[in-house]
Structures are given as structure tokens and as C-alpha cells.
Amino acid sequence: MILPFDLILVLFVYICAVAALTTRDLLSAVMILGAYSYFMCLLWTEMAAVDVAFTEASVSAGIGTILCIGAISKTKRRSND
């Protein structure tokens, strides 16, 4: 556990969370959510939880983003807020 690295990663996680919730284009919001999952994965590698980082990178950032893109392709891309 390295303190400056931890603080920088947490800052990126916060920026990605706020950007994913405020973007009006839903496809870019989902892409930013994938970036959020990858920063979470880096944060957990840094906290010595490598198995959780594997699972996050494959399941949450991979399959979750694919599911969201499929849902958006079936529905609308624009959002009002």
C-alpha cells in the first residue's frame, strides 16, 4: 500500500464516477463507467487483492460494458439529464 499512488487512483475514480453520471450521451457514459472499473481494478491490485482485480477487469469492465452497450443499441442513446 503506497499512499500517493492510492490518493491519485482514488482521485481518478472520483472523476470517472462524476463524469459517468453527468454525461448526456449514454454511450460515452458507459465507456467512462468501463474506465471507472479499470481504475477500481488498479486500486485493488495496489491493495494486494489480485484475484478481485482479475475478476473486476474481466467481469465488471468487460461483460458489464458489453451488456450496457447492447442495451443502449436496443434503446435510445440520448439522455435528458
Partner 1 sequence: MFDYIISYYNYWMYAGLMMIGFYGMMAKRNLIKKIIGMNVFQSSIIFFYISSSVKRGGVTVPIIKHVAGAHGSHGVDVMQYANPLPHVLMLTAIVVMVATLGVALAVAILIYRRYHTLEEDEIILCMRKG
Give the torsion sign (CA, 71, 19, 60, 65). positive
For 65-77, letters b (16+ CB in 10 Å) and e give: beebeeeeeeeee
DSSP classification of residue 63? I
**Is 17 near partner 1 (CB under 8 A)?**
yes
Member of 2, 5, 12, 80 binding partner 1 (CB under 8 A): 80
**Is 2 near partner 1 (CB under 8 A)?**
no
For 25, phi then psi, to 5°, come to -80, 120
Q: For residues 5 and 70, which CB has a smaller minimum distance to partner 1 in the complex?
A: 70
Q: Which positions touch partner 1 (CB under 8 A)? A: 1, 3, 10, 13-14, 17-18, 20-21, 26, 29-30, 33, 36-37, 40, 43-44, 47-52, 55-56, 59-60, 63-64, 67-68, 70-72, 74-76, 79-81
